[in-house]
Chain A
Amino acid sequence: MFNPNNYKSMQKKWFNDEGLNRALFKWLRVMKLTVFFLLATLIHLSASVYSQQTKLSISLKDATVRDVLKTVENQSEFFFLYKNENIDVNRTVNVDVKEKSVEYLLDQIFKGTSISYEVVNRQIVLIDKGQGNSFPQSQQQQKSVKGKVTDSSGATLPGVSVVVKGTTTGVITDNNGNYSMANIPENATLQFSFVGLKMQEILIGNQTTVNVVLDDESIGLEEVIAIGYGIQKKKLVTGATVQIKGSDILKQNTANALGALQSRAPGVDITQTSGQPGSAYKVTIRGVGTTGNSSPLYVVDGIVRGGINDLDPSSIASMDVLKDAASAAIYGARAANGVILITTKQGLESKPTLTYDGYIGFSNVYKPMKTLDAQQYTQIMNEAAANSGLNPFNYASLVPNWDSFSNGSNRGVDWLGEALVHNAPTQRHSINLRGGSSTAIYATGFSNFSEEGTIGNPVSPKYNRSTFYINSEVNVIKNSQNRKLLKIGENLSYAYYTQNGINVGNQTSSNVRNLLNENPFQPNAKNTDGTYITAIPWEPSGANPIARMILTQGMNNNKYHSVNGNAYVVIEPIKGLTLRSTFGINVGANMNNRFTPTYNLGTQTTSTLDVTNQSMGMGLGWSFENTAKYDFKITDNMFDVLVGQSAEASGGQLGASLAGSNINNIFASFNSLEYAYLDNSKAIDPSKTTLSGSPYSEIKLKSYFARANYNYKEKYLVTAIFRADGSSNFAPGKQWGYFPSISGGWVLTSESFMETQQKWLEFFKLRVSWGQNGNQSITPFQYLSTVASDADGNYAFDRGVQKTLSSGAYPNILPSPDISWETSEQTNIGFDSRFLRSRLGLAFDWYSKVTRDWLVQTPILASYGTGASFINGGDVENRGVEVALNWKDKAGEFTYDVNLNLACNKNKVLNIANSEGIIHGAANVLSNNTPEVYRAQVGYPIGYFWGFKTTGVFQNENDILNYVNSKGEMLQPTAKPGDVKFVDFNGDGKFISGDEDKTMIGNPNPELTMGLSFSMGYKGFDLSMNSTGVFGNSVIQNFRTFGLPQQNYPIDILGRWTEEGTSDRLPRMMYSPHPNFMNISDLYVQDASYLRITNFTFGYDFKKIWKNAPLQQLRAYVAVNNLATFTKYTGMDPNVGYGEESWAKGVDIGFYPAPRTAMFGVSIVY
């Protein structure tokens, strides 16, 4: 009988051999041409009778039939289908045709044979008439069949070839994905094939309508992923990588593609430093590996970038996360924290496809924090005063309109409530166009995204981003065999974004914190002259937090431009050898304005001068890369070897920033940001005018790298990578780092002894990898003793005038001549498997990653008298496992898939190169006058929370008497009922408010992260849900300033201890400072585990009911982001990425929460 494996498309085979599935993955070859020209070409090419219009010119001597057919395929869009055993393609022929049709050519080469052909649009089927027809049609009952072909998202698929298996009979689906065939034998099987999708066979039987959904091949093993400087079949990958498709990213409707990554990529932990629009994400792959820069390397279309804030998710084709050292090793010096490869959408050899995706949405804070209202607040203040032995407050003299508060008619100001923006609008519109021909392919798109913040009324934070990109590729020269000798292409993107916002910084400046701690008596009102009412005598150091937000922070505007692009040439001088040369640039420019008017809001919040700030900067980085890749085969041994070189530079003379600030803006009375230009405040005042301008740090990198992929029958796999990087950040002689890696794989299911297991275990690959990566991101010139000429060296000798300053200069660091790379070494063991006819997929990874020789500015003896430079001073270990499970199936027209991934990571500092083994976190983080609350210490996870442990509240005098050490001595003799029981952690028999009894009271690093997503489709309906779970992490929270007892409290405080049995957690209220609150203890730490439904989408494709629409898809949907968050955490958002150092997080001192957003959108594909 007919074996479909023998029935090959040559074209398809060619793709696989090359590892470059041309039709599907054309995006790796791009060119530049005007869209107009391309459109014109394409319109021409898509004319209906292709075979008649296509003229071929081929001249070959002693060529095999296979070569001739391949040449035809290369020169045209034709492709051939034939059975290997029927057609002798190794027969040699001579061909010499000029401008002839394909029929003419085929007649020539098959003249005198029994082979005939049939042309169905671009598909040509060859049959040996001599062999007879495998399916004698005459004996079969004939019938007609029609139907529609769609993809898994429900979009109709034009151009799908529908062939009766084993015959030449076939059709192509029309623009609406419909096909119909007549005279088909009843027992025939239809084969539906489309490049890039999985071929499907359906036995017709008595059906007259056969609708087919073609699945992405990507779920299968032929999936190709990006591996850096190339792609590789997933089946053959030996490292730990994960790929997320652009379509999955887009569906989640996040502002930044990273926001969509968390629920999809096990081992990738994503937190936000703030939920304010446009805020950055903190991304750590497989745990924090350093106290330095721990963000991964972002590589967009082969070019390294600082981040991807300026990419619209709609322009992304796929994101590949390289998690283990072996995968990342090709990026050597910068890969220690993992690599995220982003491939933007590339052209396709197909008719133009125009898509529009857009939504409008409305955001809200889903859990606004409640603070005490005026009456609750009064009660708490009175109680605090009484407990502290103070006389009752004379409110009447301190609080205006006291009567209204005392009689309960005025509940006071709910500051956060007043600052909420209800239904803050957000929207995105993106238009993408893709297409191409055998000569050129292109993809281009435009998008606009805007988002308004949910906290900050009336100066709501806004973020607006417009992006444009064009990627194209032209085949410039083909040789006589039609091999593409020279291709030229480019990827170019431009983004413009604007951002303004409120202050979400530290405890002294955070506007959100001000909203949470301002007393409710303070009126939110203005005087008759339009100024805000200053702080009332009750709390003169307070300030109307909304006025403060508007006046001190609210008038700012930040504009950014970024251009990223590369142009490349690909030469294939001999078959299998690809030379590629790429030149890339990153250009960034920014313009910032700020205006701060005069204000008098309270004793601490006052300014008699208006200040205008203006700054600009422009930077350029370039890179030049050259690679040579050679694919060859020795019997069953497949080799794919890459060598390359690159050079990069940025900063120095390539870019600089300028900034200035001045007072007395001539438009000051307008109180407006619009006039915040330095031209409007020209008078120079040496003490108030500031000017600065400096180049960006100059960084250069030079690299050589090589990779060899080897496999034997796709059964035994080995990859070896070596990279050498030279970085200008280190002293001559220390500049070069060498990063090797090796990995191997064994596809058990390809072994003959496993064949019997195929029924349930379709695929099983064991992977083992080991490698080393580097991290070089430090401030340059640490190897020299640099001389600073800054304010810390200036002195004012002129006592009379005080208008001049003697500028000073001093060596500001001790040179660290030996400083070099930080190295991360990782071993990974895992497997990929597919069960039950590929419906179930299971991948597992275990890893152990040790980052050595962190580049840390480890504290030196202060008595050295100058600053520490970076040294190689610490080691940290991350160990963990990752599991990814997916199930995909369908029942009739009902399709569904479920993905579950779990990752757990354990982080432990192994060494810090100072005698105490600690890198201290900043002090004054939670409140003023608080010691460090997080630190990196040997034996503990990075950034763990450090403080006192408590064990409840003393309920009565007996409790205090009974709280004794082993000798029976009281541990807290001065305590009163209602005070906190602190734990004598070091067990020395006494509790001391010093460091001795402090220990780990929380860990912001999660123990387990989970992603769970679910999607289904039925007759044009689609429904999907994504969720993220983070477990075992804690957040340390405080919104109040110690020493300012009039500040308001969150309503949790109502659960305080008031008398025996009222609380065993929150102590009694105190007005004066008291160890209960002053000692940073686990009372401030909360379990912030959470499970969040990050996205829920329900859509319908109206194409189902509006079949004549000239569209492939017309889908409308509703979606909600952050639909529900299940957590015990009392703050507004448990996903707190804030911490003052890059390695710290989980500090909630007034966190701006991520909003819940409801969206209504459409996706249209033409």
Chain B
Amino acid sequence: MKEIISIAFVIILITGCSDFLDTKSYTQKNNTSFPKTEADISQALSAVYSKLYAADYNNSLLMSNIVSDDQFGGGGTNDFHAYAMNNFVINDVNKFIGLWTRLYQGIFRANYVLENIDGVEWTSEAVKDQYIGEASFMRAYYLYELGYIFGNVPMPISTNAENLPQAASDVLFGQIATDLKQAITKLPATPFSGIKVSEIGHATKWAAEGLLARVFLYYTGFYNKNDIKLTDGTSMSKNEVIGWLDDCIANSGHSLVPDYRNLWGYSYVNTYKFVKDNNLKWVGDGKGDTETLFSIVYSPLSKVNMMAVFSGFRQQKRSPFGFGYGFGTVNSQLYDEWPDNDPRKKGSICNTKDLITEGDLHFQPELWNSVQVTGYYDKKNLPIWEWPASGPNKDFSNAISICVALYGANSAQAACNTLSTKILRLADVLLMGAELGSSKAQTYLDRVRTRVGLPSVPVTLENIKKERRYELAFEGIRTQDLQRWHDAESAYAKVKDVPVLQSGVKGTVTIKYRPEANAFFIIPNQEIVKSNGVLKQNPGWSSTPNFVYSDIIK
């Protein structure tokens, strides 16, 4: 018996220690150990920005372009989403879950920064303000994207997991405007010349001023309001917004680059006849682009700019324009009505006919399974490729993305574009200033037109609308503009029987706009279901119009 007792004792001794089951992760911090320092908050803020990176269809710029009257879905014969989206129908009730998720992740992470900012020792109040300002800006940015794409959305402003009902538009835009005002207040008034190249990509006071104007115009236009009610109960008036825009234009240090075309990547390719003939020189990422206030910045180390890959022609591995999936083909009506004397026309649209003589084209729409082919492509977003030093090999393409030479991107991937995506340019700020009715409205409009050698026109809404369509073509702005001007129905009605090639077969595109859907997209059905009825589907999408291939591909 003594033996048994002693053995039992030994057993208990060895394994009885109560902390045996305690384990820890050696590679992940957790909510008990993070964030503790300023550096931790800095990492948390990077993670907010990282949600700007989109892949696939969760790219709001791509979506906005495709649904606009200026572009079609395009893509391959099985890319139904694209041409379904373009026709305001859907092939998958959860198609936009990726976008929805990404934006809410961004908001969650911004909330996380804002919630934890007081729990950390700061070296100075200014540094702390910088973080508050940037996080507020980013939360506003993501909320705004949700606001114009999905309209009726839940608005989490804390990291608590709550099944929130949809916020009223007044509440949503009140929060966005409050956040942006916070950003304007907290962020330093450092002029562009004082910002290091290595810091480009961070939100600035100027970007906040510009974005606030975009938000204000959208909200007051689309919802027919005069001002925005902020969360503290005060109102934000048009004049306040004009004041910030004037401040931005006067004090930001941003200026228009002299040649509009130098903003876009193709101007880098000096073997491209169009570039040679026009003496273009790309101002590129950090190479003299004084115009861009806010952009999504990529690197070979980060996720790549999928926008370019989606936009490229199918099976094209040439210079200056490389391989892609053929989305967002440009409506030939835009090309036709755009005056030739505007250098922005050929600076924005790639006419494949010109490419045969000016660059290189290797394009057989009947074989490459392309649909909604118009022959016109969005030059601002096409992937930019160059021939290697050894020159073109016409037997089989061996061109590579300019990002390989510029940044060391991995050419092994088709998706190696890391050129940044412009979100807000000074030209837009100027046109918004003109539209809002700044005292300098005429000057602002003239500056935009003068840059491209066009004469002054009176600062009427009609002229501003036209100017915005051309100046900001394919930059994801058009759809918001049409909605806030309430021009969508009439604009889409014009897109009728546009000739296209469908897998090489002649066909036409007609956009059937559904005003009942108010241009808001379908909220991912799985979210509606998961919310247990707390979320309501957007008008026009509750009985889902399904995509019918034969209705669209004619």
Residue in contact with A541 in the complex, picked from B315, B366, B504, CB distance below 8 Å: B315
Q: Given the complex, which residues of A lie within 8 Å of B24, measured CB to CB?
A: 652, 698
Q: Please, which residue of chain B has its CB at the minimum distance from the CB of A727?
A: B21
Q: Please, which residue of chain A has its CB at the minimum distance from the CB of B302?
A: A796
Contact flags (1/0) for A749-790 with B, using CB distance below 8 Å?
Answer: 000000000000000000000000000000011001111110
Residue in contact with B92 in the complex, picked from A604, A789, A931, CB distance below 8 Å: A931
Size range of the chain B interface in the assembly: 35 or more
Q: How far is the CB of B309 from chain A (nearest CB, A)?
A: 12
Q: Given the complex, which residues of B lie within 8 Å of A805, measured CB to CB?
A: 299, 301-302
User: A653 contacts B26, CB within 8 Å?
Assistant: yes
User: B548 contacts A993, CB within 8 Å?
Assistant: yes
CB within 8 Å for A799 and B201 given contacts A726-B21, A794-B301, A865-B104? yes
Q: Determine if A1053 is an interface residue (Cβ-Cβ < 8 Å).
A: no
Q: Please, which residue of chain A has its CB at the minimum distance from the CB of B300?
A: A687
User: B30 contacts A785, CB within 8 Å?
Assistant: yes
Closest 6 pairs between A and B when the two form their complex, measured CB to CB: A865-B108, A1043-B78, A687-B300, A808-B47, A800-B286, A793-B47
Residue in contact with A864 in the complex, picked from B104, B106, B299, B407, CB distance below 8 Å: B104
Selecting from A47-55, A708-716, A1070-1078, the interface stretch reads A1070-1078
User: B78 contacts A799, CB within 8 Å?
Assistant: no
Q: Determine if B105 is an interface residue (Cβ-Cβ < 8 Å).
A: yes
User: B315 contacts A626, CB within 8 Å?
Assistant: no
Residues 16-38 of B contacting A (Cβ, < 8 Å): 20-35
Residues 626-663 of A contacting B (Cβ, < 8 Å): 626, 628, 645-647, 652-653
Q: Given the complex, which residues of B lie within 8 Å of A1044, measured CB to CB?
A: 369
Q: Determine if A1105 is an interface residue (Cβ-Cβ < 8 Å).
A: no
Q: Determine if B505 is an interface residue (Cβ-Cβ < 8 Å).
A: yes
Q: How far is the CB of B160 from chain A (nearest CB, A)?
A: 9
Q: Could you list some 17 contacts between A and B, CB below 8 A?
A: A540-B367, A603-B317, A686-B301, A781-B28, A784-B30, A786-B31, A787-B31, A791-B303, A796-B201, A798-B299, A799-B285, A800-B198, A802-B300, A810-B108, A861-B163, A916-B530, A1078-B80
Contact flags (1/0) for A843-878 with B, using CB distance below 8 Å?
Answer: 000000000000000011111111000000000000
Selecting from A249-257, A388-396, A830-838, the interface stretch reads A388-396
User: B369 contacts A687, CB within 8 Å?
Assistant: no
Q: Given the complex, which residues of B lie within 8 Å of A129, measured CB to CB?
A: none
Q: Determine if A420 is an interface residue (Cβ-Cβ < 8 Å).
A: no
CB within 8 Å for A388 and B92 given contacts A786-B29, A1078-B549? no
CA distance A624 to B10 in the complex (A): 12
User: A995 contacts B93, CB within 8 Å?
Assistant: yes
Q: Given the complex, which residues of B lie within 8 Å of A1046, measured CB to CB?
A: 367
Q: Given the complex, which residues of B lie within 8 Å of A915, measured CB to CB?
A: 529-532
Q: How far is the CB of A586 from chain B (nearest CB, A)?
A: 18
Selecting from A466-474, A553-561, A606-614, the interface stretch reads A606-614
Residues 546-579 of A contacting B (Cβ, < 8 Å): 571, 573, 577, 579
User: B77 contacts A1045, CB within 8 Å?
Assistant: yes
User: A789 contacts B29, CB within 8 Å?
Assistant: yes
Q: Given the complex, which residues of A lie within 8 Å of B299, measured CB to CB?
A: 687, 796, 798, 802-805
Q: Given the complex, which residues of A lie within 8 Å of B21, measured CB to CB?
A: 700, 702, 726-728, 732, 735
Binding site for B on A (CB under 8 A): 388-391, 398, 534, 537-538, 540-541, 571, 573, 577, 579, 600, 603-604, 606-609, 611, 624, 626, 628, 645-647, 652-653, 685-688, 694-695, 698-700, 702, 726-728, 732, 735, 780-781, 784-789, 791-812, 814-815, 859-866, 914-916, 920, 928-929, 931, 974, 992-995, 1042-1046, 1071-1075, 1078
CA distance A606 to B34 in the complex (A): 43
Q: Please, which residue of chain A has its CB at the minimum distance from the CB of B416?
A: A687
Q: Given the complex, which residues of B lie within 8 Å of A796, measured CB to CB?
A: 201, 297-299, 301-302, 418
CA distance A235 to B544 in the complex (A): 63
Q: Please, which residue of chain A has its CB at the minimum distance from the CB of B92?
A: A931
Residue in contact with A799 in the complex, picked from B25, B79, B105, B286, CB distance below 8 Å: B286
Q: Determine if B250 is an interface residue (Cβ-Cβ < 8 Å).
A: no
User: A797 contacts B200, CB within 8 Å?
Assistant: yes
CA distance A200 to B515 in the complex (A): 93
User: A795 contacts B104, CB within 8 Å?
Assistant: no
Q: Given the complex, which residues of B lie within 8 Å of A929, measured CB to CB?
A: 78-80
Q: Given the complex, which residues of B lie within 8 Å of A791, measured CB to CB?
A: 302-303
CB within 8 Å for A800 and B200 given contacts A604-B414, A814-B161, A929-B80? yes
User: A687 contacts B47, CB within 8 Å?
Assistant: no
User: B546 contacts A993, CB within 8 Å?
Assistant: yes
Q: Given the complex, which residues of B lie within 8 Å of A793, measured CB to CB?
A: 43, 46-47, 50, 109
Residues 232-289 of B contacting A (Cβ, < 8 Å): 285-287
CA distance A811 to B43 in the complex (A): 11
User: A802 contacts B298, CB within 8 Å?
Assistant: yes
User: A391 contacts B504, CB within 8 Å?
Assistant: yes
User: B548 contacts A809, CB within 8 Å?
Assistant: no
CB within 8 Å for A687 and B549 given contacts A781-B30, A799-B286, A865-B104? no
User: B20 contacts A702, CB within 8 Å?
Assistant: yes
User: A787 contacts B301, CB within 8 Å?
Assistant: no
CA distance A265 to B548 in the complex (A): 50
Residue in contact with A1078 in the complex, picked from B78, B107, B108, B161, CB distance below 8 Å: B78
Contact flags (1/0) for B195-208 with A, using CB distance below 8 Å?
Answer: 00111111000000
Q: Please, which residue of chain A has its CB at the minimum distance from the CB of B202?
A: A797
User: A798 contacts B23, CB within 8 Å?
Assistant: no
CB within 8 Å for A702 and B530 given contacts A398-B367, A797-B200? no
User: A807 contacts B285, CB within 8 Å?
Assistant: no
User: A780 contacts B549, CB within 8 Å?
Assistant: no
Q: Determine if B553 is an interface residue (Cβ-Cβ < 8 Å).
A: yes
Residue in contact with A808 in the complex, picked from B43, B526, B547, CB distance below 8 Å: B43
Residues 283-318 of B contacting A (Cβ, < 8 Å): 285-287, 295, 297-303, 315, 317
User: B77 contacts A1073, CB within 8 Å?
Assistant: yes
Q: Given the complex, which residues of B lie within 8 Å of A702, measured CB to CB?
A: 15, 20-21
User: B301 contacts A608, CB within 8 Å?
Assistant: no
User: A390 contacts B31, CB within 8 Å?
Assistant: no
CA distance A781 to B323 in the complex (A): 43
Q: Please, which residue of chain B has its CB at the minimum distance from the CB of A1042?
A: B78
CA distance A805 to B109 in the complex (A): 18
User: A815 contacts B530, CB within 8 Å?
Assistant: no
CA distance A995 to B94 in the complex (A): 11
Q: Determine if B49 is an interface residue (Cβ-Cβ < 8 Å).
A: yes
Most buried by A among B53, B107, B287, B410: B410
Q: Given the complex, which residues of A lie within 8 Å of B114, measured CB to CB?
A: none
User: A1043 contacts B77, CB within 8 Å?
Assistant: yes
Q: Determine if B389 is an interface residue (Cβ-Cβ < 8 Å).
A: no
A916-B529, A1072-B502 given; 19 more Cβ-contact pairs under 8 Å: A390-B503, A611-B412, A624-B15, A686-B301, A726-B20, A732-B21, A785-B30, A794-B50, A795-B201, A796-B298, A799-B285, A802-B407, A803-B407, A810-B112, A862-B526, A865-B159, A915-B532, A929-B80, A993-B547
Q: How far is the CB of B32 from chain A (nearest CB, A)?
A: 7
Residue in contact with B396 in the complex, picked from A534, A686, A784, A806, CB distance below 8 Å: A534
Q: How far is the CB of A235 from chain B (nearest CB, A)?
A: 30
User: A788 contacts B43, CB within 8 Å?
Assistant: no
Q: Please, which residue of chain B has its CB at the minimum distance from the CB of A630?
A: B4
User: B410 contacts A811, CB within 8 Å?
Assistant: no
CA distance A1074 to B412 in the complex (A): 33
Contact flags (1/0) for B357-389 with A, using CB distance below 8 Å?
Answer: 000000000111100000000000000000000
User: B527 contacts A861, CB within 8 Å?
Assistant: yes
Residue in contact with B30 in the complex, picked from A700, A786, A863, A993, CB distance below 8 Å: A786
User: A603 contacts B4, CB within 8 Å?
Assistant: no
Q: Determine if B164 is an interface residue (Cβ-Cβ < 8 Å).
A: yes
Q: How far is the CB of A546 from chain B (nearest CB, A)?
A: 19
CB within 8 Å for A1071 and B503 given contacts A607-B412, A862-B524? yes
Q: Please, which residue of chain A has its CB at the minimum distance from the CB of B98?
A: A862
CA distance A221 to B62 in the complex (A): 73
User: B550 contacts A994, CB within 8 Å?
Assistant: no
Q: Please, which residue of chain A has its CB at the minimum distance from the CB of B12?
A: A645
Q: Determine if B76 is an interface residue (Cβ-Cβ < 8 Å).
A: yes
Q: Given the complex, which residues of A lie within 8 Å of B35, measured CB to CB?
A: 809
